[in-house]
Structures are given as structure tokens and as C-alpha cells.
Amino acid sequence: LKAKLTEVSAYPDHRPEELRTGRAPFSLVFDCPDAVVDSRVFRLEHGEIGTFEVFLSPFAALGQGCQLEAVFN
């Protein structure tokens, strides 16, 4: 599965001060133009930061494929 990171969005941290971790919530959007997939954990590979797993959910159609989103709280 080929996907391209197309959007990064930061969100305000509305948690109580004692629960904040110092990292603001954010989301990542990936374009996956050649396939429609279900929500699941995907293994991502990046030339600089290596290989890691992240839960991605489809949320919009994109031609014959879809856009996938990961949300980090």
C-alpha cells in the first residue's frame, strides 16, 4: 500500500494542566489514491525516522482510493 502524507494539523490541548504531556494533540492525513482500506494498524516506513506502526482510519474518498487519518491525543 502506497500512501503520501498530505496534511498535518495541530489542535489546542484542552486537558487539565496536570494531564498535559507537553505535546499538543495533532492529526496526520495520508492520500492513498489506489486502494480503499478498512481502519487498522499499518506499518509505516520512512527513510529518516524508520519503521513504526500507527492506527489509520479512512475518512474521505479520493478517486479510486481514500484518505486515511491518524489522530494523536
β-bridge partners, 41:
55
Q: What tens digit of pLDDT does each residue of 6-64 get?
A: 999 998 888 888 888 878 899 999 999 998 999 999 999 888 989 999 999 999 998 88
β-bridge partners, 31:
4, 67
Q: How many helices (DSSP H) and strands (DSSP E) are in the chain?
A: 0, 5
| Global confidence as pTM | 0.83
Owner of C-alpha cell 498535559: 20
User: For residue 20, what pLDDT is reported?
Assistant: 81
Band of residue 66 on the pLDDT scale cut at 50, 70, 90 = very high
Quote the Cα angle for 55-73-43, to 5°.
20
Query: Looking at this protein, which amino acid is placed at residue 21?
Result: T
